[in-house]
Amino acid sequence: MSKTAEFITHLTDGQNYKKDSIILGTGILDGVPVTGAQVKIALKTMNRHGLIAGATGTGKTKTLQVIAEQLALKGVPSVLMDLKGDLSGLAQPGTANDFIKNRSEVIGVDYEPMGLPIELMSISDEKGVRLKATVSEFGPVLIAQILELNDTQQGVISLIFRYCDVNHLPLVDLKDLKRVLQFITNEGKEAIQKEYGQVSSASVNTIMRKIIEMEQQGAERFFGEKSFEVEDFLRTKDGKGVISVIRLTDIQSRPKLFSTFMLSLLSEIYETFPEQGDADQPKLCLFIDEAHLVFSNASNDLLEKIEAIVKLIRSKGVGVYFCTQTPTDVPDSILGQLGLKVQHALRAFTAKDRKAITKTAENYPESPYYNTSEVLTSMGIGEALITALNEKGIPTPLAHTLVRAPITRMDILDEAEIDRVVENSALVYKYNQELDSKSAFEILEKKMNELEEIQKKAEIPGPKATTSRRTTQDESLFEELSKNTMVRQLGRTIFRELTRGILGSFTRKR
């Protein structure tokens, strides 16, 4: 048997799937693409997560595009984080040329350009469906993360959320959070101290300044109503999975906002989706571009929580794919959970780079056909080393792969095309409305104003009156608050039935 025939057998025997699969490309042997050596991923293992890595300009984004396309054609929806603005072209068909046709012929697939159903979304001022969440839903862990608080300040935030949870006080937006911070150091100081202990004014003032800084970065656009329901990611159209593209190009300078948003999304999906078990295909795939931003400033405690979610979320039928420059950007504890690894070329300009390449090569199965370290630095654009899990959960043979070309446009949409996508979106009309429900700010302001009026009429000195009447006023306040249901949207579930999950987000009891 020739070396080429042995190579084909080596690859295809490891990918002998009984269930459905997607084709990523064909294997390369001695620098030449081999027809008949297709590299496939079993669809049922796409909830085992993955990594797409490589230096800038090596084709990571196009590989991400190809995987999202093939999932959509199989009826699997996906969510794509678009930090560089490269992915809106999924809505329009690609352009066939001789190079792409020849590439497809070598791989053994037909090239049929087509546009796919997409939904443009944003957490800032980009056009598209506005993704929002209330402060209460975000939870104390992620609020502390986005504000970069120390342990003492995190304790204050946890106290505030506990106080608001117990007393049915909805935290909808940042002005609610600021108002409660003011309350616990002024009007409600004695009640808070009696129940929870003394709260440092210095810590509260620091948190207040950090909230103001976050507001100046545009974070107030994200916190509020109407909050997004993650079930709306699970849509299909004409049998194809809808690709939700979250446009983040205008928050590249605010990585903390992006990374914390990503964690809240993961937490919300995990806490909301029901268990799916071992299915023939995933329910949803989530692609996180520039994944190093999620991990770079995370505390050890937060990393442990992220690892727990990544481990457990696959049982909900959800696959998480991290896209970054080097595998070392992802903590080893999480890297070990990733079933699919797509490694594009790495560049070695320094001794540190060469050490990183050697370490990267050790993450991949050994192959009789490749010196992995050498291949990592010699691959061209659109080539990658790929290994996945087969249907039995066994890693497939490592394959130097010529990746297929996207069937959608490899460029962005123009403004008119973006406008048409947005105009045809039903979700835009569902979510792009400004709401300002009665929440912590309004409730506390109303009650404090009422207290001031009572003090004035009784002509009692302010501080002593506040002390003598606070218990009665607090009881009246809590009676009214207990009649309110929690925001998101308030009619979904009674607030007292809510508990908080791994990252402090709500777990809704069905």
Burial-class residue 487 by CB neighbours within 10 Å (0-12, 13-18, 19+). Answer: buried
408/114 Cα distance (integer angstroms): 6
Alpha carbon of residue 268 to chain centroid: 10
Q: Given this model, what pLDDT does residue 278 score? A: 80
Q: Tell me whether strands 78-82 and 243-247 are parallel, antiparallel or unpaired.
A: parallel
Q: Which of 90, 76, 63, 78 is nearest to 21 (CA)?
A: 76
Q: Given this model, what pLDDT does residue 372 score? A: 92
162/159 Cα distance (integer angstroms): 5
Alpha helix locations (H) across 299-370? 300-313, 332-335, 351-361
Q: Given this model, what pLDDT does residue 509 score? A: 44
DSSP code of 90?
A: G
Return the sign of the alpha-carbon dihedral for residues 502, 199, 297, 333. negative
Query: Does residue 55 contact residue 345 with C-beta atoms inside 8 Å?
Result: yes
Q: Given this model, what pLDDT does residue 493 score? A: 33
For residue 74, the SS3 value is: coil
- Of the CA atoms within 13 Å of residue 326, those in its CB half-sphere come to 18
Output the six-digit token pair for 377. Answer: 């630095």
198/188 Cα distance (integer angstroms): 12
Q: Given this model, what pLDDT does residue 43 score? A: 94
310/293 Cα distance (integer angstroms): 16
- Of the CA atoms within 13 Å of residue 306, those in its CB half-sphere come to 27
Written as tens digits, the pLDDT of the chain (510 aa) is 789 999 999 988 878 788 899 999 999 999 999 999 999 999 999 999 999 999 988 999 999 999 999 999 999 999 999 888 889 999 999 999 999 999 999 999 999 999 999 999 998 778 899 988 888 888 888 888 888 888 899 999 999 888 888 887 888 888 889 988 988 888 778 878 888 888 888 999 999 999 998 888 777 778 888 888 999 999 999 999 999 999 988 776 677 777 778 888 888 898 889 998 788 999 999 998 888 888 876 777 778 888 888 889 999 999 999 999 888 889 888 998 999 999 999 987 888 888 888 888 888 888 999 999 999 999 999 999 999 999 888 899 999 999 999 999 999 999 999 999 999 998 998 888 776 655 556 666 665 565 556 556 665 555 444 443 444 444 444 444 444 433 333 333 333 334 677 776 665 544
Domain ranges in the chain? 3-132+224-431, 135-222+435-507
For the chain, what is the radius of gyration of the CA atoms? Answer: 26
The model carries a pTM of 0.84
- Of the CA atoms within 13 Å of residue 374, those in its CB half-sphere come to 7
483/493 Cα distance (integer angstroms): 13
337/330 Cα distance (integer angstroms): 11
CATH number for the domain formed by residue range(s) 3-132+224-431:
3.40.50.300
Q: Given this model, what pLDDT does residue 328 score? A: 85
